[in-house]
Amino acid sequence: MQPPLSRRQLLSVAGCGLGTLALADLLCADGVIESAGPHFAPRAKSIIWLFMEGGPSAMDTFDPKPELTRGHGKQPRESIDVFFGNPGPLMKSPFSFKQQGESGTWVCEHMPHVARRVDDLALIKSVHCETPNHAPAMFQMNTGIPRSGFPSAGAWINYGLGSVNSNLPGFVVMQNDNGSKGGPMNWSSGFLPAAFQGTPFRTSGSPLLNLDRPSDVSASQQRKTLDFVASLNNEHLRRHADESDLSARIRSYELAFQMQSEANDAVDLSQESARTLEEYGLHEKATKSFGRKCLLARRLVERGVRFVQLYSDGEWDAHGGLEKNHRENCQATDQPIAALLTDLKQRGLLESTLVIWGGEFGRMPISQRGSGRDHNPHGFLMWMAGGGIKGGTHYGETDEIGYRAAENPVSVHDIHATILHLLGLDHERLTYRHNGRSYRLTDVAGNVIRPVIA
């Protein structure tokens, strides 16, 4: 009898394609590999990452700066590095703010729905990254490194934990409808086995291209075909026992067959009540697209998908016309996000689902083109909710004009270390050997942000 392959041996040769979507978990179930599992008791079981692509402005959403109002039209006291050039004077927010909830969190006028959920949020107001360019900053936010080719957070998490549901991918992505900057490298498995890469889901119709069975082939016929192909492959495996990737490929055919039913069921919103569809904003043009993504995210984590990442459709990249840009993006995302948080909480899922909000960087306190703001990697805001997070908390601060992280600076590695910690993973122990070196999501840095943990 051929001895079982080690996790590293088998996963290093696992094939690509549809069958890799939940392959690692299937192989664990078959006893071919042993799942690593959490290092300690997790607070969260799944992640929904609401990626606000383009870079929302903290001082125009959740962190108003009175000094910008007082200094509007004046030159800042310190020199400010800009990305696109032609810096203008300080610019106040075009929006009004009110303190909301018992936490007294400031929220702009165009987020009335999220305003009602602020006591579930932990605002991290002093995040910083290494680059002011969209694609590299998105790579860093997703992989920890501002270069392409490294495993994304979703891939690392599924490598460490696997998926709960072997009939669905462990890591699902719903992209910006216009195409996210940097594309699939943002949800790549990098040098990890392809089994852990993100799987783009379409939000209408069949979730995956070529998933549905051809109309002229019955389920019985397909089952017989798969059984026949498996018998041939198993015979080949017996004669070529050293081809350790073959068993993985054999199992991949079965996975594709299983997904035909469950993946389509997961995106079938006809099962939802009219009230739920309305709450997520599916009847309104402005909120329909992102609302559908948020509702699908709830349905996916409900079915055991470990990591779901949603990209906003409108980009928050307001080099000019910030008032219109941010007003429209708030309108598109505010109601769906609040509905998601409410829905998760009512279903008892919020305590086991970590929800993350933020972009790849923030915006400058000075004007650009008279009415916009340039990219700012030096200080910006993210928030987390559910999954072991202490709601109603604020951590860190930028300076008085919102330019740099000034109090308790938080790196992207710190964000990742905290996410892994909430899932029961020690970021220093979750490693993978590649090219003679042990890599990890947090590279050689990162600290858990303990004050935001309940």
Amino acid in the structure at residue 311: Y
Rounded distance between C-alpha atoms, residue 147 and residue 388, angstroms: 31
196, 155 Cβ separation under 8 angstroms: yes
The two beta strands, 397-398 and 393-395, are unpaired
Higher per-residue confidence, 256 vs 296: 296
Give the DSSP letter of residue 171. Answer: E
pLDDT tens for each residue of 130-140: 999 999 999 99
Find tokens 């026992």 and name the residue.
241
Output helix, strand, coil percentages for the chain, rounded to the nearest 5.
Answer: 35, 15, 45
Rounded distance between C-alpha atoms, residue 5 and residue 242, angstroms: 11
pLDDT tens for each residue of 230-243: 788 878 778 876 55
52, 312 Cβ separation under 8 angstroms: yes
Query: SS3 for 383?
Result: strand
Of residues 148, 146, 121, the one with CA closest to residue 62: 121
Q: Report the mean per-residue pLDDT for the chain.
A: 88
What are the DSSP calls for 80-112, one per residue? ---SSS----B---SS-EEEETTTTEEEETT-H
pLDDT tens for each residue of 49-99: 999 999 999 999 999 999 999 999 999 999 998 998 779 999 999 999 999
Rounded distance between C-alpha atoms, residue 270 and residue 186, angstroms: 31
Which residues of 281-417 form beta strands (DSSP E)?
Answer: 307-311, 353-358, 362-363, 375-376, 380-385, 393-395, 397-398, 405-407, 410-411
**In the chain, % of residues over pLDDT 70:** 84
pLDDT tens for each residue of 375-421: 999 999 999 999 999 999 999 999 999 999 999 999 999 999 999 99
Residue 226 has pLDDT above 50, yes or no: yes
Find tokens 């699908």 and name the residue.
296
Residue 52 has a CB neighbour count (10 Å cut-off) of 21
Rounded distance between C-alpha atoms, residue 169 and residue 11, angstroms: 16
Find tokens 């600076």 and name the residue.
409
First to last CA, the chain: 50
pLDDT tens for each residue of 166-200: 888 899 999 998 889 999 999 999 999 888 899 89
Rounded distance between C-alpha atoms, residue 156 and residue 190, angstroms: 10
Residue 309 has a CB neighbour count (10 Å cut-off) of 26
Rounded distance between C-alpha atoms, residue 393 and residue 407, angstroms: 15
Residue 21 has pLDDT above 60, yes or no: no
Domain ranges of the chain: 1-35+218-266, 36-204+282-452
CA atoms within 13 A on the CB side of 309: 29
CATH 3.40.50.720 for the 36-204+282-452 domain, yes or no: no
